[in-house]
Each structure stands twice: as C-alpha cells, then as structure tokens.
Amino acid sequence: MTAPTRSLLVADARTKARNRAEARFRAYGLAAILLSVTLLGILLVSILSNGLSAFRQTEIAIPVTLDAALVDKGGKGDPASLRATSATAYGKLIAKALKDELARRSIPTGGLSDKDIAALISEQAGADLRNRVLGDPRLVGQTVTVDGLATGRIDGYFKGRVTLESAEKDSKIKPEQLHLADAMRDAGMMALRFNSGFLTNPDASEKRPEAAGLGVAIVGSLYMMIVVLGLSLPIGVAAAVYLEEFAPKNRFTDLIEVNIANLAAVPSIVFGILGLAAFINFAGLPRSAPLVGGLVLTLMTLPRIIIPARAALKAVPPSIRDAALGIGASRMQSVFHHVLPLAAPGILTGMIIGLAQALGETAPLLLIGMVAFVRDMPGLPPGGFLDPATALPVQVYNWTQRADPAFTERASGAIIVLLAFLLIMNAAAILLRRRFERRW
Amino acid sequence: MTRPTIRLTVRLTLTASTLALGLAAATAAEARDQIQVAGSSTVLPFATIAAESFGDNGDFKAPVVEGGGTGAGLKKFCEGAGEETIDIATASRKIKPEERDACTKAGVTDIIEVRLGYDGIVFASDAKGADFALTPTDVYKALAAEVVVDGKLAPNTAKTWKEVNAALPDQEIMAFVPGTKHGTREVFEQKVMEAGCKATGAEDVIKGIKTDPKEAAKACTTLRADGASVDIDGDYTETLARIASEPKAIGVFGLSFYEANTDKLKVASVSGITPSVETIADGSYPVSRPLFFYVKKAHIGVVPGLKEFAEFFVSDEMAGKDGSMAGAGLVPDPKLADQQTIVADETVMN
C-alpha cells in the first residue's frame, strides 16, 4: 500500500499553520525590540535635550585691576595678609570693574541700579578670583581678565529657558538685565563657552547654580570604585575558586550557594542599613566617606561577582584539569596555572558589569551620609578615602530636588556623564570578552 | 591573556585590597576637620548657602550639609557626643521633649538652640490661572474630610471654590498638600486647618460630638480623601510638576521655593495678606514657622571652625535683612542680635 502522494512544493494545512505561528512569533519579537528601542530613544532624547546645555555656560570677560590698596590691606604681600580680604570684597571689586567696563565701552545700562548690574555675575567669581590671587600673589597690582560666570538666569536666557515674558514675573531677574546681557553679548563681553567647570567644580548652593559641578561626585565615585575593585575582586575570585574547585559538595556548601544567590537579589537599600550599623555606628568610620560607600557597595557587588566567576570557572572543560593533574600538577597548580587564566576573561567581564552596577547605585548611599552638600574636594588617597564626598547618581538625585530651575539642566547633564562612564565600562567588558574568551 | 600578566594582575589586586583594608585602621584616628550638619530639608538650602560662603571666606573647610528631615537630623544629633556624630542639627520646629531625653541619655547635655529666622508657607497656583484670596475658613471648608452640616458631621461634598466662598473663582477644588512626614504639613494643619475649624465654629460642634480632645483635633485637620486633596510625599519640585500638568490645582509651598519660581507660580493671599519676606517678618501673614539649628557645645573647640560657622550662620551678612539667605527666601528674625548673643556666649538650653 502506498501513501497518498503529496507535493513538497504545496504546503498542507498543518505546515501552513506552523509557518504562520513562526511568522507571528517573529513579529512579536520584532515588536518587543522596537518597543524597547523606542522607549530607550525617548529616554535618551529627553536626557540629551535637557542635559547637553549643561556642558556650555555663559561667561563674562571683565578686566579687573587688582589694586594693592584694596586687595592687600596689610600691605605685606604675604599670604596671611592676602587671606584677610574676603571673597565678598573681591566680588565687589569685580562688580565695580564690570560697571567701569560697561561705561568704557559705552554700553547703555537701561537705568539699572549698580546692584542689578552686579547681579549679572555669579557670586562664585569673587571666590574664584580670591583663590587665583592667593595662588599667585604676584597678580596684586596688575590688571587681569576675569572670566566670571553669568548668573543662572542670564545663562538660562541664552539657553532659552528664561524669556523676556518669564522675566516680567520672575523676582530674580528683570527684563532690563536681559537687554543688557544682549548688548554685552553683541559687544563680545559675554559668550557661551564649553563648561569645563561642570566636570571639575564642586556642588553649589541655590544662590549660584551656574557654578555647580560634578567634581566632588566624580572623585567620590572613583574612590568608591577603587575600594570596590580592591576588595571584591580578590574576595570574590577566592570565594568562587574555592567553591567551584576545592569545596566538597555537601549540605553546607549547598546552603552557602543558596545564600549567595539570595544575596544577589536583596534590595540594595538593605546593604545601606547594614553599612550604617556596621561601619559607621559600630566601627566608628566617618559619615559621607568614600571608604564606607565602597565597603557597602562591595557587600552589594560580591554575590554579583561570585556568580559569573563560578560560571566562568565551570565553563573550563574538565579535560584541562585532568591533563594537568595527569602530568603531576597539584590541584592548586592546575587551578592557578591553567583553569583560572582560561576563566579570567569571563571573571573580568563579570567584575566590570558588577562595578558598573555599583557605580549607578544610589539607595545604599542615602543612609551613610553621601547625599550631602560637599564643597571641598576629597584629598589624595589614602587619606582622601575618609574625606566627605558624594557620588554621581547621588548628585543626580540631589539636583532634581533643588528649587532653582537651573538645576534641572544640570541633573540631566550629570545623567549624561554617568551614562558615558557606564557605556565605557560595558564596552570594555564586551571588548575583553571578544578578545580573550575561548570556547570549547 | 598570558600567564605573567595574570600573575601581575593577581599581585596588583592583592596589594590594592591590603591597602584598602589597612586604610580604615590607619586613618580613622585622624581628626575630623569638616563640620557636619544634618536635618530639615527646609533649612537645607539656607545651610548650603552659609556653608558655601563660609568655605569661600574663612580659613576653614566648608561644612558638609545633609538634608533628610528635622526628625532624622535630630535623631542623628542625639546619638551621642564625639567625632563620629554630627555637630549641628537644623530643624523646622523646636526640639521635642522626647528628643531632648534621647539626647540627655546619649550624653548630649549642652545644646545651644539658635533661631535662624522664619519660613512662610504659601498657597500658589499656576501663573496663568485665576487669582486666589483665601482665608483659613475657605481652605478648611474646601479640604476638610468632614464638615459640620446642621449640627452634625457630614462628608465634605464641595466641588468648586465658588461653593465654599462666593468671592472665589468658579474652579474645581484640587489641592496638593505636603505629606505627613513633612514639617510643612504640621504647620499647615495648625495654622490653617485648625484656625479654619475654629473660625467656622466647627470646633465647638466637634467637641460636642467627640469627647476625646485628640480625636476632636484630628477631626479638624483630617483632609479629604476623595481626590480633592492630594498628599505629596516628595518635595516641592514634585508639587510644581503636578501643578504644571494640572493647572487648576493649588499647591502648598515654602516661601523660598516660591521665590525661586515666581515665573511659573502665582501666590494666593491669606486673610488679605500677600506672603512676602516683609509680611512674614512683621507677623501679619499668618502661616509661618520659626527655623532653628542646634549646636553641640561639647564639639566647640574640638571640631575646628564650629563656633565660627555658627556665628557666621546668624551673622547679618547671612541671616540679616539684606543677607544672602533673605535673597533665597529666608524671613529674617527681627531680633537677630539676640540670637547672635546666644551663639557668642554659647548659652545652652535649660
């Protein structure tokens, strides 16, 4: 008996149904990808459109004569006598220089009071000039060009955030001040420049949002990452190697395994509570210190490193170990000479991804005092690990809560910086894997 | 990766970790040279301004300032005396007796209480919307969960402001009020809801129904839960964002926040008085509260610059009438000189 003949070229009903099911599944997959790409696109566009302007800042160039009679009242020219002049006094000096410069260039001030004209320059300018003079006392008596920041509202005007209509109702700026700013820009005194201070300056108060920068946060994040790397790499790798290569398989190691997997899923805020209790209240380490932040993040990162490290070790074929043992190597020699080098790319990839997660973590840092206003740069290591600092994601959180609208732009700018760091780290992880990974 | 590089990496990481571990022991003993401040998020902007200028001018490092709320700040403050504890707690209310007790128990006995100034609480709506001239009575009638109808408590059914007071705009009642964890909420309840409750005579009726005085006070200050009043647990930026998407709503803000956003918000007068630094300072605007900071006397002379910072914080240049903080919305204390004397003499609370 022969089966009824069927052409392979004509699909029957069942084949058609199966083909349709596959086409549907592909469409779902594509739709899922498209949706996530669109959402990511919206996120990136909104962050970039809000935040890119933070990398440019309005500056006013003013020639200031550092009259020795005003700057160095002690008249000795030594640092001690220069220190006696306050930043406010320098601010007044700059305000007067601005007024003189406007008069010299015959730019009409539109009937603005001296105070309103002085309000165009950031208060930060006085402090910066004071530091400049203290750093180089020979400047006393000379005329220097001060590139002072314009206040946040003027800066916002050139960036489109402040308009003449909004200035009518705004208690912090007058439309006449904006007209003057226009005239100064046309005269070349005022311009938008690349804002390097955004990456180097410390945070600033509501009075001078234009001077706020990420310097302390970047250094704080860097110090924390050094602590996390220095602690979690050796501990994590040692734990993974022991568990994978040496530990007997029994109930106790099973329990440890379950606990590690469990710890990887514990919400990060829990580690913050632990850190507060163990490192600050019990061990007496200072608040807001990158060392404590790093220790807390190490706790959080460890299970997330041990798991991929064990997977990488597991992926090395047993034949490698057998061959090493077969020619007389000890177990330790077989692990350190053969297995670990082969697993290293996988371990490093896990490590970098773990570090990237730690870099973006905010919640545990809330509890150990890193959400703070810190003006002074932490010192150089090792002492600097105990100086107060903030961290990048914390700075984002901090700036979104500020009243002055200029901080909105800076929060988005900080997100861009954070994303750039994450991108570099994740790209490095992929690169390492591509370059060194071996498959069997 | 070749074997020597792996060895090098292992050696490097081992060195790094030994360093990191050794650090804690080696440098923890080093004296703290930065003042630590924590507490009220209302005082936070003022404290950062003072810290910034202090760092600019003085020979000391700028203090580290944390927010977190009055309660949280005072808790940290009362954990004990010593370098690992904070030096100054800021507060948007006076320290409570139980917090004093906690302080005393932990050995923090000598506390200097300084009144920094005042903060106004304002009602503000979208800048393009209608004008509001409110009274505590209006707000109470519009937002209380239960109002008195024919001598009995009944759920509040008012839909528009016009229903509450014919002089107000014919606009749906919608208010964003800070959540209960905020100090602002307490002031709002005391100075607006309770005042309104009293003025409408509802308080007497409630006292007749509820004998427990605590229950009676609660009945006056409980807000509607039917959507007309929304608790905002975040900060004022969230309230502002909600108003931007809901232009008919009224929000409760701190004066300093409103001052920074006058282009987006329109402020309502309360009992005919428009809030401003002047009207709050002379006491005519009713909804305000004092702001304080507390200094640990035991830390003066130990943490460098602590007394200097406390003096700077209440100096005329900062907290005075034309001071930096007044520009950011702090209402100056008319008797600031008294506070300056308290700091100068290191007068402790009794």
Q: Is A376 on the interface with B (CB under 8 A)?
A: yes
Max Cα-Cα span within chain B: 91
- Residues A429, A432, A435, CA angle at the centre, nearest 5°? 150
pTM (2 d.p.): 0.84
Q: Are residues A219 and A107 in the same domain?
A: no
> Using CA atoms, how far apart are residues A378 and A393, in angstroms rounded to an integer?
18
Rounded Cα distance, A308 and A345, in Å: 11
What's residue B69's pLDDT?
82
Residue B229 and residue B88 in contact, taking contact as beta carbons nearer than 8 Å: no
- For residues A269 and A363, is the Cβ–Cβ distance under 8 A? yes
Question: By the CB < 8 Å criterion, does B322 face chain A?
Answer: no
Angle made by CA atoms B116, B122, B128, in degrees to the nearest 5: 140
Q: A172-176, B183-187, B338-342: which has the minimum mean pLDDT?
A: B183-187
Strands (E), chain B: 36-39, 64-68, 88-91, 111-126, 133-134, 146-149, 152-155, 175-178, 229-232, 250-254, 265-267, 269-270, 288-296, 331-332
Q: Which of residues 231-290 of B touch A (CB under 8 A)?
A: 235-237, 256-257, 259-264
Nearest CA in chain A to B51: A375
Q: Which of B30, B256, B257 comes nearest A383 by C-beta?
A: B30
Q: Report the gap between the CA of B197 and the closest CA in chain A (Å).
A: 32
Angle between helix axes A392-400 and A406-436 (nearest 10 degrees) is 150
* B56 contact A CB<8A: yes
Closest to B100 measured CA to CA, from B86, B110, B90, B88: B110
A3 in a structural domain: no
**Domain identity same for B45 and B128:** no
**Cβ of B45 and A385 within 8 Å?**
no
Residue B8 lies in a domain: no
Q: Which of A195, A224, A246 is the last residue of a domain?
A: A195
Domain assignment of residue B108, yes or no: yes
Distance from CA of A14 to the nearest CA of B (A): 52
pLDDT of residue B308: 92
Host H or E run for residue A241: helix A215-241
Are residues B320 and B260 part of one domain?
no
My answer on whether B264 and B158 are in the same domain is yes
How many degrees, rounded to 5, is the angle at CA B16 between CA B10 and CA B21? 125
A374 touches chain B (CB under 8 A): yes
Answer yes or no: do A235 and A177 share one domain: no
A206, B61: Cβ pair inside 8 Å?
A: no
CB contact under 8 A, B55 and A375: yes
CA separation, residue A42 to residues A47, A405, B249, B300 (Å): 9, 22, 28, 53
Q: Is A372 on the interface with B (CB under 8 A)?
A: yes
> Which residue range(s) make up the domain with B67?
33-119+289-345
Note whether A170 and A286 are same-domain residues: no
Tell me, yes or no, whether B143 and B273 share the same domain: yes
The answer to which of A364-368, B12-16, B45-49, B162-166 has the lowest mean pLDDT is: B12-16
Question: Which DSSP string corresponds to B129-154?
Answer: S---EE-HHHHHHHHBSEEEETTEEE
Query: A184: helix, coil or strand?
Result: helix
CB B216 within 8 A of CB B163: no
pLDDT tens-digit readout, B219-256? 888 888 888 888 888 788 889 989 988 888 999 998 88
Element (H, E) at A154: helix A152-159
Residue B29 pLDDT more than 50?
A: no
Q: Cβ contact (<8 Å) for B236 and A340?
A: no
For this complex, say whether ipTM is above 0.95: no
Confidence band, pLDDT 50/70/90 cuts, at residue B1: very low
Q: Which 6-65 residues of chain A touch chain B by CB within 8 A?
A: none
Longest dimension (CA), chain A: 120
In a domain, A28, yes or no: no
- Tokens 């984002």 belong to A396
**pLDDT tens across A36-79, in order?**
999 999 999 999 998 999 999 999 999 988 888 777 777 676 77
Q: Give per-residue pLDDT as tens, B55-72.
A: 887 678 899 999 888 888
Q: Are residues B201 and B314 in the same domain?
A: no
Total domains present in chain A: 2
**A434 at the B interface (CB within 8 A)?**
no
Question: Which of B256, B287, B318 is the C-terminal boundary of a domain?
Answer: B287
Q: Is the pLDDT of residue B31 over 70?
A: no
Q: What is residue B113's three-state secondary structure?
A: strand
* Pair B105, B234 in one domain: no
B264, B173: one domain: yes
A322 touches chain B (CB under 8 A): no
Q: Which of B287, B302, B334 is the last residue of a domain?
A: B287
Give the Cα separation of A64 and A62 in Å (integer): 6
Helix H or strand E encompassing A411: helix A406-436
Question: What are the contacts of A108-117 at 24+ separation with CB within 8 A?
Answer: A108/A183, A109/A180, A110/A176, A110/A179, A110/A180, A111/A176, A112/A174, A112/A176, A112/A177, A112/A180, A116/A174, A116/A176, A116/A177, A117/A180
A126 at interface of B, judged by CB pairs closer than 8 A? yes
For residue B324, being part of any structural domain is answered with yes
The pLDDT value given to residue A401: 85
Strands B269-270 and B133-134: parallel
A283 close contact with B: CB closer than 8 A = yes
Rounded mean pLDDT, B311-330: 87
Q: Which residues contact A281 (CB under 8 A, 6 or more apart)?
A: B79, B84
Per-residue pLDDT of chain A (440 residues), as tens digits, is 566 677 778 888 898 999 999 999 999 999 999 999 999 999 999 999 989 999 999 999 999 888 887 777 776 767 777 888 888 888 888 999 999 888 888 888 888 888 888 889 998 998 889 888 888 888 888 888 988 899 988 999 998 888 888 888 887 888 888 889 888 988 888 889 899 989 999 999 888 899 999 999 999 999 999 999 999 999 999 999 999 999 898 999 999 999 999 988 899 899 999 988 888 888 888 888 999 999 999 999 999 999 999 999 999 999 999 999 999 999 999 999 999 999 998 999 999 999 999 999 988 998 888 888 998 888 888 888 988 999 999 999 989 888 888 899 999 999 999 999 999 998 988 888 888 877 76
CATH code of B162's domain = 3.40.190.10
Domain end position, chosen among B271, B287, B303 = B287
Please check whether residue A385 is in contact with residue A227, taking contact to mean a CB–CB distance below 8 angstroms: yes
Q: A171, A296, A437: best mutation site toward chain B, by most B Cβ within 10 Å?
A: A171
Reported confidence tier of residue B16, pLDDT bands at 50, 70, 90? low
Given B23, B64, B317, which is nearest A388 (Cβ)?
B64
Which domain CATH number covers A374? 1.10.3720.10
Kindly state the average pLDDT of the residues B93-97: 88
Q: How far is B31 from chain A (nearest CA, A)?
A: 10
Same domain for B303 and B275, yes or no, is no
Tell me if A160 is assigned to some domain: yes
In this complex, do A288 and B36 lie within 8 Å of one another by their Cβ atoms? yes
Residue A64 forms beta bridges with which residues?
A144
pLDDT tier at B42 (50, 70, 90 boundaries)? confident
Chain A residues inside the 8 Å CB shell of B38: 369
pLDDT at B28: 45
In a domain, A310, yes or no: yes
> What is the spatial distance between Cα B50 and Cα A124, in angstroms, rounded to a whole number?
13
Per the domain annotation, does B129 fall within a domain?
yes
Tell me how far apart the alpha carbons of residues B317 and B336 are, in angstroms, rounded to a whole number: 11
A133 with A100, same domain? yes
Q: Are residues A238 and A161 in the same domain?
A: no
What is the β-pairing status of strands B36-39 and B64-68?
A: parallel
Q: Determine, for residues B6 and A341 on separate chains, whether the beta-carbon distance falls below 8 Å.
A: yes
Same domain, B94 and B223: no
Answer whether A200's CB lies under 8 Å from A215's CB: yes
Name the B residues in 25-54 with CB < 8 Å from any A CB: 26-28, 30, 32, 34, 36, 38, 41, 44-45, 47-49, 51-53
Within 8 A of B68 by CB-CB distance, chain A residues are 371
Indicate the residue of A231, A345, A371 with minimum beta-carbon distance to B20.
A231
The residue whose two tokens read 């630590």 is B36
Distance CA B266, CA B275 (A): 11
Kindly give the pairing relationship between strand B111-126 and strand B288-296. antiparallel
To the nearest whole Å, the CA of A291 is away from the closest chain B CA by 8
Residues B89 and B167 in one domain: no
- For chain A, positions 201-220, list CB contacts with chain B under 8 A: 204-208
Are residues A228 and A116 part of one domain? no
B-chain residue closest to A119, CA distance: B327
Q: Cβ–Cβ of A376/B34 closer than 8 Å?
A: yes
Q: How many CB atoms within 10 Å of residue A136?
A: 11
Q: Are residues A231 and A350 in the same domain?
A: yes
Residue A65's domain spans which residues?
56-195
Say if A386 is an interface residue toward chain B (CB within 8 Å).
yes
The pair of three-digit structure tokens given for residue A263, joined into one six-digit string = 């710890």
Nearest residue of B to residue A346, measured between CA atoms: B1
- Total domains in the fold of chain B: 2
What was the pLDDT predicted at A1?
Answer: 55
Shared domain for B141 and B218, answered yes or no, is yes
> What pLDDT is attached to residue B26?
46
Phi, psi of B175 (to 5 degrees): -135, 140
How many beta-carbon pairs under 8 angstroms link A with B? 163
Chain A CB contacts of B52 below 8 Å:
204-205, 207-208, 375
Residue B25 lies in a domain: no
In this structure, are B199 and B59 located in the same domain? no
Chain B 166-195, residues with CB within 8 Å of chain A CB atoms: none
User: Are B135 and B270 within 8 A, CB to CB?
Assistant: yes
